[in-house]
Amino acid sequence: MLKIKNLSSGYGKLKVLKQVSMHVKAGEIVAIIGANGAGKTTLLTTIAGLLRATSGEIEFRDRPITTLAAQKLPALGCVMVPEGRQVFAPLSVEENLILGGHVLRRQGRQLLAEQLAHQYELFPILHQRRQQLAGTLSGGEQQMLAMARALMSKPSLIMMDEPSTGLAPLIVQEIFRVIGRLREEGNTVLLVEQNAKAALTIADRGYVLETGKVILQGSAEDLLANRDVQRAYLGRERIH
């Protein structure tokens, strides 16, 4: 689904990603964990075309996308749920969702309506709030809206950047329940997450980023059992 080879990028003279290589298979949840400043968000924004790579290659479904404009990716089936939600605050919940499905308009209103109904089934609270302005939602509801908006385009790869940040534990459980269901429905998820235990518990595989480089990779089970990962990223929730 996604192949990344020797990818480097950064901001001006600041080099953040350094020769990163990884892959994501169809139907997987792949977690990327690491400390703040490790390059996790930079990786996603580079894949999404919001930040230009300085070297290396990105392929999505065997198509080179390294230099593709960001707005072209949703139509190919690759979407990103950004850190901080970034919903359209002055618009209603439903208007946000309809905007998320803009790439489906050529395929007819029926498909758009079906996607809208599916998001309301995934996130019942959004159906209750559908006429409410997005900016008045709680943080958890805005995160659900950001996810649902991305899903409106029927993507095959969903990239999520820190979906649990700042949310109450019960809301975090709900977010991860939905991520698990996405895989059941055949979606592929690339998950950047500060909550390493939650991410690895739900993921198939994972990568550990440190100072812009992949320092560890493996099955989620192996990473959860790795003493270095436990010490650095699992903290008091260490698995013995």
Mean pLDDT of 80-100: 92
Check residue 240 and give its pLDDT.
Answer: 32
Q: What mean pLDDT value characterizes the chain?
A: 91
Check residue 238 and give its pLDDT.
Answer: 37
Check residue 31 and give its pLDDT.
Answer: 97
- Which residues are 64's β-sheet partners? 59
Check residue 152 and give its pLDDT.
Answer: 94
Please count the structural domains in the chain. 2
Q: Angle 188-190-195 (CA atoms, 0-180°, nearest 5)?
A: 130
Largest separation between any pair of C-alpha atoms in the chain: 53
Q: Is the pTM of this model over 0.85?
A: yes
Range of the domain at 225: 1-77+156-240
Residue 162 and residue 138 in one domain: no
The CATH number that applies at residue 61 is 3.40.50.300
Residue 138 and residue 160 in one domain: no
Task: State the residue for tokens 């900016």.
Answer: 135
Of the ranges 15-19, 34-38, 84-88, the best mean pLDDT one: 15-19
Residue 105 and residue 192 in one domain: no
Check residue 217 and give its pLDDT.
Answer: 96
Residue 148 and residue 184 in one domain: no
Residue 168 and residue 68 in one domain: yes
Assign 235 a pLDDT band (cuts: 50, 70, 90): low
Please check whether residue 32 lies inside any domain of the structure.
yes
Query: 163: Cβ–Cβ under 8 A, 6 or more apart, which residues?
Result: 81, 143, 147, 175, 179, 191, 193
Check residue 239 and give its pLDDT.
Answer: 35
63 and 76 Cβ atoms separated by less than 8 Å: yes
User: With 70 as the cut, is the pLDDT of residue 236 above it?
Assistant: no
Task: State the residue for tokens 């020769």.
Answer: 19
Type of residue numbered 221: E
Q: Which of 158-172, 199-213, 224-238 shows the lowest mean pLDDT across its residues?
A: 224-238
Residue 160 and residue 240 in one domain: yes
Mean pLDDT of 25-52: 94
pLDDT tens track for 128-187: 999 999 999 999 999 999 999 999 999 999 999 999 888 888 889 989 999 999 889 889
Please check whether residue 11 lies inside any domain of the structure.
yes
Mean pLDDT of 56-67: 96
CA distances from 85 to 10, 114, 214 (A): 22, 24, 26
Check residue 166 and give its pLDDT.
Answer: 85
Check residue 151 and give its pLDDT.
Answer: 93
Of the ranges 5-9, 162-166, 181-185, 234-238, the best mean pLDDT one: 5-9
190 and 46 Cβ atoms separated by less than 8 Å: no
Please check whether residue 114 lies inside any domain of the structure.
yes
CA distances from 75 to 85, 101, 156, 160, 224 (A): 21, 10, 10, 18, 35
Please check whether residue 82 lies inside any domain of the structure.
no
Check residue 10 and give its pLDDT.
Answer: 94
Residue 23 and residue 70 in one domain: yes
Mean pLDDT of 45-59: 96
What DSSP line would sit under 4-64, residue for residue? EEEEEEEETTEEEEEEEEEEE-TT-EEEEE--TTSSHHHHHHHHTTSS--SEEEEEETTEE
